[in-house]
């Protein structure tokens, strides 16, 4: 019997050398220095990098328009405002995601309605979606969770049949494709984040993409305090917000975009090899392979853990043991979004019109997401940038734990 690392034995994943993140490249350094030297650090001061980032990001997605913003949360809020969401409207939101995927809705005065999560894909449960639609529903926010695209073949006809807008939260999905089309381009808007942990980072930042000329113009005005794009005067046409991205962050993101595809290819190939190993381990449930997913972007990746296949070993103890073996994993989002205190009536009610019917989220029970919160194990996308031997040692470490569960169960 090989002693587990948590008990002092050698780590099974010693070969897993995870690179630092984020990483600079020559293009990012060059563009940032040019932005600094220009003296135009604010977009409205005459700089060029926000314009360049928007043009290249839109071209990368085969989209007509892109609007750079200060972060991914602002991107979702801007998309909602541009879609014409009004106080008291209802917008369907995912139950498993970073809070911004839902908190953006009350931030613009609307009511979030939570849809269950498909635990196999971590995306919204399309079967449950229609049950959540009411006569006050105006749109849907769906997340391509961990860069694994939603089932657009089912989702698009459903939202169109109810005359709803769709905002694709693609914060995790820079580079993901569905049937050869980049995600973020199926709905009215796609929203992206450039936060430091993302695969296309600029510290903070974000962007929205759309093919709709009217929505794009509306978004440009709203993100610039109600002013027309490129103007610095004091004529404001709408009650907008200042969501502008700085020139320095745009320069950094522009350089990072140039290495995104190459890094995604490494991640995708390493994940392919790892999945072949993980799929053979009882109790480790990976996401289904779907030939309609023609390219993957990444922010993190996940699998589900079944303690019954590990002699009843709890997920928390499994994670602790796997970390000791040299594999950095965690439990991800520990609760369904609707359990967050931020969505309790006394908190969310401050943002909504008086008399608004607010669901009692504390007593909501959605089985898919609650199962996922009990079983999920997550790891960061940078793990998939290690060399092939190191990535495959993850499976070795899991098997080692499975073979020695008796030493872990108290």
Q: Which of 52, 61, 128, 227 is catalytic?
A: 227
Determine if the peptide bond prior to 22 is cis (ω within 30°).
Answer: yes
Element of type H or E holding 153: helix 152-161
Q: State yes or no: is 234 an active-site residue.
A: yes
Out of 113, 125, 195, 382, pick the active-site residue: 195
Neighbours of 268 (CB within 10 A): 16
Burial 278-316 (b: 16+ CB within 10 A, else e): beebebbbbbeeeeebebbbbbbbbbbbebeebeebebe
Active site residue 227: yes
Among residues 144, 172, 220, 382, the one annotated as catalytic is: 172
172 annotated active-site: yes
Catalytic residue among 169, 218, 296, 382: 169
Query: Nearest to residue 43, comparing CAs of 247, 318, 294, 349?
Result: 247
Q: Is 198 a catalytic residue?
A: yes
Residue 50 makes CB contacts below 8 A (sequence gap 6+) with: 43, 68, 244, 245, 247, 250
Token reading at 143: 């997340």
Helix axes 247-278, 49-60, angle to 10 degrees: 30
Contact 288, 119 (CB under 8 A): no
Question: Which of these is catalytic: 135, 234, 308, 354?
Answer: 234
Sign of the C-alpha dihedral computed for residues 209, 58, 242 and 215 taken in this order: negative
Catalytic site residue 362? no
What is the enclosing helix (H) or strand (E) of 73? helix 72-82
- Catalytic pick among 43, 128, 144, 198: 198
- The yes-or-no answer on residue 267 being catalytic is no
- Cα separation, 408 vs 410, in Å, equals 6
Q: Which residues pair with residue 65 across a beta bridge?
A: 210
Read off φ and ψ for residue 124, nearest 5 degrees.
-60, 145
Query: Could you report how far apart the first and last alpha carbons of the chain are, in Å?
Result: 18
CA separation for the pair 306, 322 (Å, rounded): 15
Which of the residues are catalytic? 98, 169, 172, 195, 198, 227, 234, 244
């Amino acid at each position: 019997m090989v002693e587990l690392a948590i008990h002092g034995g050698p780590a099974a994943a010693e070969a897993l050398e995870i690179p630092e993140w984020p990483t600079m490249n020559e293009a990012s350094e060059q563009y940032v220095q040019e932005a600094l030297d220009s003296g135009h650090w604010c977009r409205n001061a005459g700089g060029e990098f926000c314009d360049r980032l928007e043009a290249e990001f839109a071209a990368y997605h085969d989209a007509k328009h892109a609007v750079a913003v200060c972060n991914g949360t602002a991107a979702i809020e801007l998309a909602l405002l541009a879609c014409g969401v009004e106080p008291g409207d209802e917008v369907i939101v995912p139950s498993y995601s970073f809070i911004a995927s839902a908190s953006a809705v009350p931030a613009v005065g609307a009511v979030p309605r939570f849809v269950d999560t498909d635990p196999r894909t971590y995306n919204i449960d399309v079967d449950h979606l229609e049950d959540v639609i009411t006569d006050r529903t105006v749109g849907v926010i769906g997340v391509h969770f961990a860069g694994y695209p939603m089932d657009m073949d089912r989702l698009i006809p459903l939202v169109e049949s109810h005359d709803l807008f769709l905002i694709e939260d693609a914060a995790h999905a820079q580079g993901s494709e569905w049937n050869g089309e980049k995600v973020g381009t199926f709905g009215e808007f796609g929203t992206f984040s450039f936060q430091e942990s993302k695969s296309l980072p600029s510290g903070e930042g974000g962007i929205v993409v759309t093919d709709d000329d009217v929505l794009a113009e509306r978004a440009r005005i709203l993100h610039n305090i109600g002013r027309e794009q490129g103007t610095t005067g004091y004529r404001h046409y709408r009650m907008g917000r200042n969501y502008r991205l700085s020139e320095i962050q745009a320069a950094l993101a522009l350089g990072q975009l140039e290495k995104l595809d190459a890094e995604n290819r490494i991640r995708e190939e390493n994940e392919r090899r790892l999945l072949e190993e993980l799929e053979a381990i009882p109790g480790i449930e990976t996401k289904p392979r779907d030939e309609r997913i023609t390219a993957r972007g990444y922010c993190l990746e996940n699998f589900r853990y079944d303690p019954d296949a590990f002699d009843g070993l709890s997920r928390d103890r499994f994670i602790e043991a796997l970390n000791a073996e040299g594999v950095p994993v965690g439990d991800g989002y520990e609760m369904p979004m609707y359990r967050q205190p931020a969505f309790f009536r006394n908190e969310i009610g401050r943002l909504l019109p008086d008399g608004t019917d607010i669901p009692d989220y504390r007593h909501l029970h959605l089985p898919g997401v609650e199962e996922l919160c009990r079983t999920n194990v997550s790891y960061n996308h940078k793990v998939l940038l290690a060399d092939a031997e190191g990535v495959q040692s993850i499976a070795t470490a899991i098997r080692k734990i499975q073979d020695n569960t008796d030493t872990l169960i108290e």
